[in-house]
Structure 1
Amino acid sequence: MTNPSLILPQYHKYLNGAPVPFSRRTRRNSEFCLVALVFVSLTIICFGAVFYLPEFKASYGGTINNVYKHIQNAGPELLLPPHGNAKHDGVLEDPHAAWDKKALFAKIDEDYLDKRKVLERPDTGDAFKQNINVKNISFYPHAESIVEHNDIGQNNENIELRQRRDKVKEMMKHSWDSYVKYAWGKNELKPVSKHGHSGSVFGSANMGVTIVDSLDTLLIMGLNDEYKLGRDWVANNFTLENVKIDISVFETNIRFIGGFLSCYAMTGDTIFRDKAEYVAKKLLPAFKTPTGIPHSLVNLKSGNSKNFLWASGSSSILSEFGTLHLEFVYLSDITGNDIYRQKVETIREFVRGLDRPNGLYPNYLNPITGKWGQRHVSLGALGDSFYEYLLKAYIQSNGKDLIARDMFDDAMASVMDNLVQTSASGLTYLADMRFDRLEHKMDHLTCFAGGMFALAGESLGSDSSKHYSELGASLTETCHIAYDKTATKLGPEAFRFTDNNEAVAVRGNEKHNILRPETIESYFVLWRLTHDNKYREWGWEAAQAFEKYCKVSGGYSGIRDVYQIDTIKDDVQQSYFLAETLKYLYLLFSDDSLIPLDKWVFNSEAHPLPVRDQNSLYRMYQSEGVVL
């Protein structure tokens, strides 16, 4: 039995004379005081905390507004747009639902890019920055590319230089944006008509030539959003599977393979290496000839190849089969597949073993019989880049390709003996030769030779170096004079040297300008090697002329007659205008450390390729699959 004395006292409240047991609703006075004290303490703490917030102290009552502004700045991820009348397929759509769907797709795309498989990470160390002179070049889809220019200072000369470079960048953006707006995915743009151009060397096939040609220029200029757009198109849309036409082996090599290889070297993005090899494999059937000299054209569907009907005796063209070496050798080095190197070395060995009239290389060679075609020799159309690639193969190999150097020296000795001429007024030019007779004409294409000879004088270190350098400067000055003699200050397609005219186009079909880069290329090379400011001034004159006479609201167009101020536009924005002309202009007004000539060599479409053993971005393939 429980002891009553151990039971705690129970307190009762009497209601109507009857005792009521204690409950939660009954309190003693002391308990009420304790609860009140706790409540007051909590109230003081809460109000004190709010009062002493920094924003509250700064402006009473402003906290809510400031918080709202912060939420606004956070973007559409937090705030839905106001109600509207959005329609989808003609049906009124809830704007919130539309926004949610858009945000969802954006998130999916973001996650996909983040999880994209990267086989090899690019080099972002000091060696990379030294070789291309950038801070965090755009390794898609992440970091921004910020080009550093060490020549930007506070004096008037450097400010002016920066303004000129920025103007060229603005020209590039106008060209690119116009192409994106009016001709996206097409080969080139008709800037006056504002639609795609299907009359290019690639015909009507939509291969995105301008996109591929522009990518490394966009990288160099730091136009990262534009580069990412182009890179996405290459990754997701570029294909040759639906192309059923004959395409040029030469043009496909210098623009597509060269463009992809340049982007791979600069970024380490393996999509470009893989695309370059994909294209190269499509070209290999053209090499199936008795001599190994490839045909000019290959059909991507059937694999059949042939030469142009107009080429002498169904011959292949010197400047075309001779302008594969840089790309194919580099492709073998980064893929470990030696087939590409073998193809171009077979070409070289065959050509090297042929007898040459007057020590010169004719422009036509039959790939079946191995015999020279029509005796036409030129450093302009049909011949030009064959000689360029002999010199640049030697440079690309870091001086190890001695066969290329010997072939170049031998060829240039014959060129100087037979083709180099001096006009009555003392202008130096390179004539064409047809059946041992000189034609005193220079193509605009020949104007690349000024830079080539100057580069040879700097690179070869031979007894001919001084003569090479002087000849390069003289030829470049002649090309400048051809520009200066026109009303538009833009050079003609070809110019002649006669008793009455020097460095002037005579025939109507020679007076047009199609935005070609060769003269600007020589200005750039001569500036880099001499630092004579006249080359920058000449380049700026040309840039202003392009802006004044070629710019239209839909891009840049070639013109029909450089000697007429109010000339007709040809309505074509050539892809090489973005790949070459604007790139060389931009580099002309940039510091020498941006794409330095001792670490990079430009292919015939101005796509920079790294010099082996001098540039850590060469990314040589290793047997275990690791790329350096």
Structure 2
Amino acid sequence: MLPLHRLAQSQSAPTSKYEKFASWLRSRLATRILSVALIVLFLLFWLFPPFPRYDSVPLSEIFKRPSAGAHYAQDSTEAPPSRVPAAVWHSRAQSVKESFIHAYHGYEAAAFGWDELLPVTNKSTTNFNGWGVTIVDSLSTMLLMDLKDEYTRALAHVSKIAIKIMCTGTIPFFETVIRYLGGLLSAYALSGDAILLTKADELAQTLLPVFDSPKGMPHFGYDPSTGFKAPSWASHALLAEMASCQLEYKYLAHLTGRAEYFQKVDRMMDLMQNSQRADGLWSTYWDITSGTQVNTHLSIGALADSGYEYLLKQYLLTGKSEKRLLDMYLKAVRGVLEKLTFLSSTRDLLYITDTKDGVPEHRLEHLSCFFGGLLALGVETVDLPQQDADLHRWAAEGLTTTCWMTYAETQSGLGPEEAQFKVTFDRLHPLKWMDTVRAWENAGREGGVPPGVKAPQLILGESRSGHRDYYLRSPGYYLRPETVESIYIMWKVTKDEIWRERGWGIYRAIEKHCKTEFGYGTVPSVQYKRTGIADSMPSYFLAETLKYLYLLFSEEDRVPLDKWVFNTEAHPLPVFHWKNSEKALYGIHQ
């Protein structure tokens, strides 16, 4: 019999080659050998990387070779479109018109007078004041599509709206201004029906108490029955909320002669002019009491988008008479291009993103996809310095192309709410677009256009999704208009048929995946060929998405860019010029 201590040793000793190997791995010698091996592998990987290391290569050298990722096998390439006959485009415009009729008639049948239709259950919902937001938001689309019967029924409803009596609670200022006030004013400009101006004036008067704050900044909302002014985001105002009411109120000031309309909203322009950062940008959150910027978040997405949009559009709407707005716009665009615009990791896709504390998020919001169209609009309508015109034109094409590609590369052909661009080993610090432009210029502008402008080949098919330099962070499609808006403006400015074809592809995807028996619904995920449909049909789908698609395919120039300006809800307002008496009253100087 073995002694106890020898028995314990015999029971713990390795009895197989696997146990012997495991025992060796636990030894001190093995630890040293493995550590040295890992260090050697790391050094080899660093010295001979499998991917190009852009951080160690001069930027000027990058643009002398094909873009990374060109070796990927493509399922498809986008051939230049052949000339499509005018009759075909007319037919396509009529198809969009029929889509609008289907959606609006579905709303009329099940939800007329309520705010929005639930297109799957065929029910109604009240979510924007209870005045029938789909009706008012659709007025300008009906008029542009020459839908007389639908417009007549809608006008009868609008004439009966008792704004203060019918309100269902707190009126959200921002959404009410762009959907209701913008819808009423645009329909008035297109039709001349006086009741629309009367209702617009009544609504604007009702909302004025929202500006009762120490610096005149608008509260989130206002309840006319109680006088309660709803605080916004913990007593903070968003840039988009405070700077996206000027088009509507200034046009109404011109129509009615009410100076308070101009003065209330122009105070925000004073505040923004006096606090524009050195880089030309503004923070997303503002203290409503002190009127100061309170965070380091920079964006042209959900919290800020139309605040930047309305700088240029105010300038255009008022006959280019408010010069300071153009100056603010040009400084802001320079800041966006310098600070918020990047190239993707492998295909040099141009995209725009937010930063917090100077750190980029590399997240592209669908809401930000309006920016390419805005830049193109500025190039078309404003006599810009040549350097600015070139930069804006390049960025407009590159950004709009990227936004379109997020549609074209999905299984459904619809675009996601958010795309997250990848940060890869070879680009731990993704390239800022303006840095690459300067390097390209120093290299002699080889190729004729800077990186990020011309689209690479598409990467299609589910099996290839891993090769894309972004993934779908938020995969839902909410019937949003921003990408087709920019595509429409790009078509108007360039007359390149490729933009119309791209828009046609998006429209076909909407028809295939979003249409229900009663209307159109949002899609929870665009990643699949067979998508589900959610029970929501936002009014902006009729006001914006279908309108821009209809105008994109129409042969007639129904809304000339030099005579009309779209508000952020796609309601066209006519360009006007301040009278001399108005200039004196408001202190407007060239």
TM exceeding 0.5 = yes
- Report whether the alignment pairs 1:563 with 2:527: yes
Superposition pairs of residues 488-527 of structure 1, within 5 angstroms = 488-498=412-422, 499=424, 502=468, 504-507=470-473, 510-527=474-491
Give the C-alpha shift of residue 303 in structure 1: 2.2
What amino acid does structure 1 have at the position aligned with 2:299?
Answer: S
Separation in 2 of the partners of 1:230 and 1:468? 40
Does the CA-based 8 Å contact 1:527-1:535 persist in structure 2? Answer: yes
1:156-188 CA-to-partner distances (Å, cap 9, x unmatched) read 611211110110000000011000001011111
- Pairs within 5 Å for 1:586-605: 586-591=550-555, 593-605=557-569
TM superposition shift of 1:371: 2.1
| Aligned equivalent of 1:546 | 510
Please tell me whether residue 182 in structure 1 is matched to residue 110 in structure 2.
yes
* Kept after mapping to 2: 8 A contact 1:458/1:469: no
Q: Paired residue for 2:411?
A: 487
Gaps of 5+ in 1: 1-154, 615-619, 624-628
| 1:48 aligned partner | none
Is the partner of 1:352 in helix, strand or coil? helix
Equivalent residue, structure 1, for 2:334:
413
Cα contact 1:419–1:430 (8 A) shared by 2: yes
Residue-by-residue CA offset, 1:267-309 (whole Å, 9 max, x unaligned): 111111111111111111110011111111211212221323x
What is the CA deviation profile of residues 508-567 of structure 1, one whole-angstrom value per residue up to 9, with x for unaligned ones? xx1000100000000110000000001100110011111000000010000100001222
Max radius of gyration: which structure?
Answer: 1
1:388 positional shift:
0.5
Contact 1:458 1:465 in 2 (8 A): no
Could you say which residue in structure 2 is the equivalent of 1:135?
A: none
Q: 1:223 to 1:504 in 2, by over 3 A?
A: farther
Task: Judge conservation of contact 1:318–1:382 (CA < 8 Å) in 2.
Answer: yes
Per the alignment, in what secondary structure is the counterpart of residue 552 of structure 1? coil
The equivalent of 2:322 in structure 1 is 401
Alignment match of 1:170 (pick from 67, 89, 98): 98
CA distance in 2, matches of 1:176, 1:300: 30
Q: Which residue of 1 aligns with 2:371?
A: 449
Residues in 1 aligned to 2:414 and 2:517: alpha-carbon distance in whole angstroms: 20
Q: Give the secondary structure class of the aligned counterpart of 1:298.
A: strand
Match of 2:257 among 336, 340, 349: 336
**d(CA) in 2 for partners of 1:557 and 1:504?**
26
Asked if the contact 2:412/2:530 (under 8 Å) is kept, the reply is no
Could you say which residue in structure 2 is the equivalent of 1:528? 492
CA–CA distance in structure 2, aligned partners of residues 456 and 367 of structure 1: 31
Change (3 A) 1:249 1:564: same
* Counterpart secondary structure, 1:347: helix
Distance 1:454 1:360 in 2: 20
Partner of 2:223: 299
Cα distance, 1:166–1:286 mapped onto 2, change above 3 Å: same
1:442 and 1:261 map into 2 onto residues whose CA distance is 32
Deviation at 1:235, TM superposition (A): 0.8
Aligned residue among 531, 536, 540 for 1:576: 540
Counterpart of 2:212? 288
The SS at the match of 1:566 is coil
Aligned pairs, number: 455
The answer on whether the counterparts of 2:344 and 2:469 sit within 8 Å (CA) in structure 1 is no
In structure 1, the residue matched to 2:292 is 371
2:383 to 437, 461, 472: 461
**TM-score, with length taken from structure 2:** 0.75
Listed as ranges, the matches of 1:194-213 within 5 Å are 194-198=122-126, 200=127, 202=128, 205-213=129-137
- Which of these residues, 215, 222, 235, is aligned with residue 314 of structure 1? 235
1:609 to 564, 573, 583: 573
In 1: Cα distance, 2:551 partner to 2:531 partner:
29
CA distance in 2, matches of 1:361, 1:197: 36
Query: 435, 459, 464: which one pairs with 2:357?
Result: 435
Shift of 1:358: 4.1
Instruction: Note the C-alpha offset of 1:398.
Output: 1.6
Distance 1:517 1:582 in 2: 8
Partners of 2:279 and 2:332 within 8 A in 1: no
| 1:493 positional shift | 0.3
What is the distance in 1 between the residues matched to 2:505 and 2:379?
27
Match of 1:232 in 2: 156
- Counterpart position of 2:71: none
Are 2:171 and 1:247 equivalent residues in the alignment? Answer: yes
Match of 2:271 in 1: 350
Return the offset for 1:485. 1.3
The aligned amino acid for 2:472 is V
Aligned partners of 2:231, 2:483: CA distance in 1, in Å?
Answer: 30
CA distance in 2, matches of 1:503, 1:242: 50
Q: Over residues 64-104 of structure 1, what are the superposed CA-to-partner deviations in whole Å (9 max), with x where a residue is unaligned?
A: xxxxxxxxxxxxxxxxxxxxxxxxxxxxxxxxxxxxxxxxx
Q: What secondary structure, in the 3-state scheme, does the structure 2 residue paired with 1:556 have?
A: coil
CA distance in structure 2 between the aligned counterparts of 1:591 and 1:156, rounded to whole angstroms? 12
Q: Equivalent of 1:260, from 181, 184, 205?
A: 184
d(CA) in 1 for partners of 2:331 and 2:200?
Answer: 32
Question: 283, 305, 312: which one pairs with 1:391?
Answer: 312
Contact 1:505 1:511 survives alignment (8 Å): no
Q: Which residue of 1 aligns with 2:16?
A: none
Deviations 1:475-519 (A, max 9, x none): 000001100111110100011110367564433xx1000100000
In the TM superposition, structure 1's runs of 4+ consecutive aligned residues that sit over 6 Å from their partners are: none
Instruction: Please say if residues 447 and 475 of structure 1, whose CA atoms lie closer than 8 Å, have aligned partners that are also in contact.
Output: yes
Who is 1:88 aligned against? none
Query: How far apart are the structure 2 equivalents of 1:478 and 1:328?
Result: 34
CA contact 2:174–2:241 (8 Å) conserved in 1: yes
Measured in 1, the distance between the counterparts of 2:521 and 2:343 equals 34
**Matching residue of 2:12:** none
User: Which residue identity lines up with residue 265 of structure 1 in the other structure?
Assistant: A
Unaligned runs of 5+ in 2: 1-82, 425-465, 586-590
Q: Is the 8 A contact 1:385 1:604 kept in 2?
A: yes
The whole-number CA distance in structure 2 between the counterparts of 1:430 and 1:502 is 17
TM-score by length of 1: 0.70
Q: CA RMSD in A?
A: 2.0
CA separation in 1, counterparts of 2:84 and 2:355? Answer: 48
Amino acid at match of 1:434: K
The 1:353/1:253 distance shift into structure 2, 3 A limit, reads same
Q: Contact conserved, 1:208 with 1:238, CA < 8 A, in 2?
A: no
C-alpha contact 1:524 1:535 (8 A) present in aligned 2: yes
Q: Higher RCO, 1 or 2 (CA under 8 Å, sep at least 6)?
A: 2
Distance 2:468 2:245 in 1: 35
For the 8 Å contact 2:353–2:365, the answer to whether it is kept is no
Return the letter of the residue paired with 2:517. S
Report the equivalent of 1:278: 202
Query: In structure 2, what is the equivalent of residue 55 of structure 1?
Result: none
Give the 5 Å matches for 1:27-66.
Answer: none
* Alignment correspondent of 2:68: none
